[in-house]
Structure 1
Amino acid sequence: MSAAALAAEIRAGRRRAIEVVEAHLADIAARDARFNAFTEVTAARARAEAEAVDVAVAAGQDPGPLAGVPIAVKNLFDLEGVVTLAGAKIERDSLPARADAFLVRKLREAGAVMLGALNMDEYAYGFTTENAHFGPCHNPHDLTRIAGGSSGGSAAAVAAGLVPITLGSDTNGSIRVPASLCGIWGLKPTYGRLSRRGAFLFVGALDHLGPFARDVADLALAYNALQGDDAEDHAQAWRGPEPVSLEGGAEGLRIGILDDHFARNGHAEAFAAVAAVARALGATHRVTLPDAAIGRAAAFLITMAEGANLHLPNLRARPDDFDPGTRDRFLAGALLPATWVQQAQRVRAAYRARALALFDEFDVLIAPATPYVAPPIGQEMIEVDGQMIPVRPNLGVYTQPISCIGLPVIAAPVAGVATPGNLPIGVQLIGAPWAEDKLFRLAAHLERIGACRAPEPRNAPNGNPHA
């Protein structure tokens, strides 16, 4: 049962929120050891919130569009009374959060029920969620493979049917990569669209927050609930509420297929996924995003420098308490010459201007989301275009050039594409800034015609155990 259908059942009094929550808590206890998606289960809070929803329904009140829907969030979101770990051993020494993050509060205001916090790469610096402190997150479609990252727990929890909606963050692809590898829908909104207050940021210049879901209607339901003006988040560019609709289909949308950088650097299944979506839409126009590789290089430098600056005190005082892989990348960032970082910002600005010019001709651009299906846990190198390259950084080869300039993207799971091991893979539906409505229209159309849909995970009994 989708989140939308579940909320409708609860609002109508046909199901009780507390019964739904108890079923989900029992399921997490029984099955999450396979996935290692949760780092904290907030059972007492969930029961109290579910009871409050049931009381409101009994009193004839509408608890909201997400009435009684179980949710969970990446463990870099503040949850009142819980230590915000951000995937790090170091943060275990921090005090519990005094209040919920802004987006958590928005979901709660819509009636959702919080079940807990989810596994991630340390400090969101990674694409695999192979966390040295909390263990790797396992892909629900093949437990020997990664779930992607850094929001791996968020994607795996939805793909496995543990919860219908989760929240993640995306700096260089950390929503879109795990969505692609786990075969679900993910949204990276326009930079500045949603408040980031109460989230442990990684790179303030690049960080976005957004939802995951198994279908487009649930993704839209979450996104609409998340919108709101936060006067305390000075990075938010509030334009008023802009709820998205799933009506209208693809009619009138000018669609382009990104080539050059986005037609190289990957395996056949990544390009087959793009081709399948293009065929379904009758899209034939190919377009080049100028200097995508250079834009990606700029994103690397900015990420390294800002991340290192944020964590420099602990790098000096507690280097052995970092995940070794994360520590080494932060240390490298701390050694970057300032002139390199300044030049990266100039390059980024020029690259963004060239990218925005494409939307004079196109409404939506299609590109691969990941260069290959989920690699095995622990795999360090992979062959691409005849060369052996590192697995982890290359997972962002198609997402980094888009996130570094703040464009909105929906990651869509592609149906009917032959892949190694029959594993899922997705595409990016990319829009102009503030054009989330067009992306949702196209995503809903692709889902209706069967071109994109979330496959049933192999490790969830009967697909979704809560149906």
Structure 2
Amino acid sequence: MKAAAIAQAIRRGQRRAIDVTEEALADIAARDGRFNAFTEVTAARARAEALAVDQTIAAGRDPGPLAGVPYAVKNLFDLEGIATLAGSKIERDAKPAARDGFLVRKMAAAGAVCTGALNMDEYAYGFTTENAHEGACRNPHDVTRIAGGSSGGSAAAVAAGLVPITLGSDTNGSIRVPSSLCGIFGLKPTYGRLSRAGSYPFVASLDHLGPFAGDLTDLALAYDVLQGFDPEDPAQTRQPLEPVTPRLSAGIEGLRFAVADGHFARNGHAEAFAAVEAIARVAGATRRLVVPDAARGRAAAFLITMAEGGNLHMADLRTRAQDFDPGTRDRFLAGAMLPAHWITQAQRLRADYRASVLKLFAETDILIAPATPFAATPIGQANIELEGELVPIRPNLGIFTQPISCIGLPVLAVPLADPTVAGTPNGLPIGVQLIAAPWREDVLFRAAAALERAGVVSAPPVRA
């Protein structure tokens, strides 16, 4: 189910949006019990939006580039009339959102049809979507395994074919980690590119919003319609609209690729590095560049995340501590007690680290790095061996994404078309990060499209 094909058929009058919507709703009802991707299905809203698309077409007006395309959002996006849960129990007592978030309004203006809200780690603080309140989100490729997080429901819904596009958030890797584990495409845009207004925050200085899709063209369509300046997000930078869909056929001639070395060449299983090498071969990347101080950048991200998150939830930590997921609560409490000078130093290091990494783009246009250190692990498994040491899974799933998030670079997570080439367990999916300089999402889409045409990048079919 590709968004581009659905929209084309509806725009041409070959299908009705209401029929596509009814099929999507029925499919979600029939199959999502297996994946636990949705926390709420907005059936009445979806039908109303679909009928509006059909009426627009009947009136001879343009219904938008995503006419009638079903989509869903991580449940930290505001949906009018629904409490924004952010994966929590506490927010169930919140007032319903007064209006849709900015990106939801952009999707609606493009003709897309919102089918519901999706499972996530509590307050976006996790990489596995083993939610204590809603239950674990299950990976469509093997429902005994995690979907990744914190946007696990967003990735699982796409991988399962329930909807072709979803929206999620990425603070430390929460788009790229589930994209890798579920075998789909995910975009973390440049920090400040897309508005975050109308979403529940986690770490304001690190939060990004972005789309997921099972098809690169669909991801490009979604990203194009999401762009636009919003004065309600003080972190957003006013940039011209830069659609990437017209650039998908541009090819990679003239683009310079390099494999990220150092921190990104250790602390993972063999399949993570084999996936990088498979893509690097096709891209013609023969050069390796050490990303300086990546481990220290990741450490800074940890401290900033803990401190800002703990500060945000201080009132509830004092009065409703028992209503948090215990794992989330304890990390927030620890963050709330960090010394101020640690955070000041972390921000200084972050600035220096960013300046060092930006210098690499004088030598390359795209860095290729692992997205996750290993493929999806069993639900409930707490630890895994890395570099001969038993380490906790949850924080270490972000070992390759956190050093990039904290400096705001754009990243496109791409799935290896044939995971068996990388030797993943039971052929489970695994992805790779394509990383570019700020505001160069265009080169990421050019590169990914060329890799897709070469057959090395695409969403592997779900066989489970």
Partner secondary structure for residue 331 of structure 1: helix
Q: Which residue of 2 aligns with 1:422?
A: 427
Matches for 1:242-261 after TM superposition, within 5 Å: 242-244=242-244, 245-261=247-263
Asked whether 1:110 is paired with 2:110, we answer yes
Q: Which residue of 2 aligns with 1:462?
A: none
Matches for 1:390-429 after TM superposition, within 5 Å: 390-416=392-418, 417=421, 418-429=423-434
Q: Which residue of 1 aligns with 2:138?
A: 138
Q: Which residue of 1 aligns with 2:441?
A: 436
Counterpart of 1:293 (choices 276, 295, 299) is 295
Contact in 1 for aligned 2:39/2:118 (Cα 8 Å): yes
| CA distance in structure 2 between the aligned counterparts of 1:447 and 1:98, rounded to whole angstroms | 41
- Normalised by the length of structure 1, the TM-score is 0.98
Matches for 1:248-397 after TM superposition, within 5 Å: 248-397=250-399
- Normalised by the length of structure 2, the TM-score is 0.98
How big is each residue's C-alpha offset from its partner over 1:8-47, in whole Å with a ceiling of 9 and x where there is no partner? 0000000000000000000000000000000010000000
| CA distance in structure 2 between the aligned counterparts of 1:301 and 1:57, rounded to whole angstroms | 51
Q: Which residue of 2 aligns with 1:6?
A: 6
1:409 counterpart letter in structure 2: V
| CA distance in structure 2 between the aligned counterparts of 1:126 and 1:334, rounded to whole angstroms | 17
Aligned-residue RMSD, C-alpha: 0.6
| CA distance in structure 2 between the aligned counterparts of 1:377 and 1:184, rounded to whole angstroms | 20
1:455 counterpart letter in structure 2: P
How big is each residue's C-alpha offset from its partner over 1:257-280, in whole Å with a ceiling of 9 and x where there is no partner? 001110100000000000000111
1:384 counterpart letter in structure 2: L
Contact in 1 for aligned 2:179/2:431 (Cα 8 Å): yes
Asked whether 1:449 is paired with 2:454, we answer yes
Q: Which residue of 2 aligns with 1:75?
A: 75
Compute the displacement of 1:218 (Å).
0.3
Q: Which runs of 5+ in 2 are unaligned?
A: none
Q: Which residue of 2 aligns with 1:56?
A: 56
| CA distance in structure 2 between the aligned counterparts of 1:405 and 1:260, rounded to whole angstroms | 18
| CA distance in structure 2 between the aligned counterparts of 1:110 and 1:386, rounded to whole angstroms | 50
Compute the displacement of 1:124 (Å).
0.1
1:181 counterpart letter in structure 2: L
Q: Which residue of 1 aligns with 2:43?
A: 43
Q: Which residue of 2 aligns with 1:464?
A: none
| CA distance in structure 2 between the aligned counterparts of 1:452 and 1:339, rounded to whole angstroms | 44
| CA distance in structure 1 between the aligned counterparts of 2:145 and 2:2, rounded to whole angstroms | 26
2:382 counterpart letter in structure 1: E
How big is each residue's C-alpha offset from its partner over 1:336-358, in whole Å with a ceiling of 9 and x where there is no partner? 11111110000000000000000
Partner secondary structure for residue 116 of structure 2: strand
Matches for 1:198-237 after TM superposition, within 5 Å: 198-237=198-237
| CA distance in structure 2 between the aligned counterparts of 1:68 and 1:28, rounded to whole angstroms | 16
Partner secondary structure for residue 410 of structure 1: strand
Compute the displacement of 1:247 (Å).
2.0
Partner secondary structure for residue 87 of structure 2: coil
2:344 counterpart letter in structure 1: Q
How big is each residue's C-alpha offset from its partner over 1:346-378, in whole Å with a ceiling of 9 and x where there is no partner? 000000000000001110000000000000000
2:309 counterpart letter in structure 1: G
Partner secondary structure for residue 450 of structure 1: coil
| CA distance in structure 2 between the aligned counterparts of 1:27 and 1:109, rounded to whole angstroms | 25
Partner secondary structure for residue 358 of structure 2: helix
| CA distance in structure 1 between the aligned counterparts of 2:462 and 2:151, rounded to whole angstroms | 18
Compute the displacement of 1:458 (Å).
2.3
Task: Number of aligned residue pairs: give it.
Answer: 459
2:287 counterpart letter in structure 1: H
| CA distance in structure 1 between the aligned counterparts of 2:232 and 2:167, rounded to whole angstroms | 20
Partner secondary structure for residue 313 of structure 2: helix
Flag as ranges the 4+ runs of structure 1 deviating above 6 A: none
Q: Which runs of 5+ in 1 are unaligned?
A: 460-467
Partner secondary structure for residue 325 of structure 1: helix
1:96 counterpart letter in structure 2: P
| CA distance in structure 2 between the aligned counterparts of 1:4 and 1:309, rounded to whole angstroms | 42
Partner secondary structure for residue 6 of structure 1: helix
How big is each residue's C-alpha offset from its partner over 1:62-110, in whole Å with a ceiling of 9 and x where there is no partner? 1000000001000000000011000000000000000000000001000
Identity score, percent: 73
Compute the displacement of 1:415 (Å).
2.0
Asked whether 1:458 is paired with 2:460, we answer no
| CA distance in structure 1 between the aligned counterparts of 2:451 and 2:255, rounded to whole angstroms | 13
| CA distance in structure 2 between the aligned counterparts of 1:410 and 1:23, rounded to whole angstroms | 30
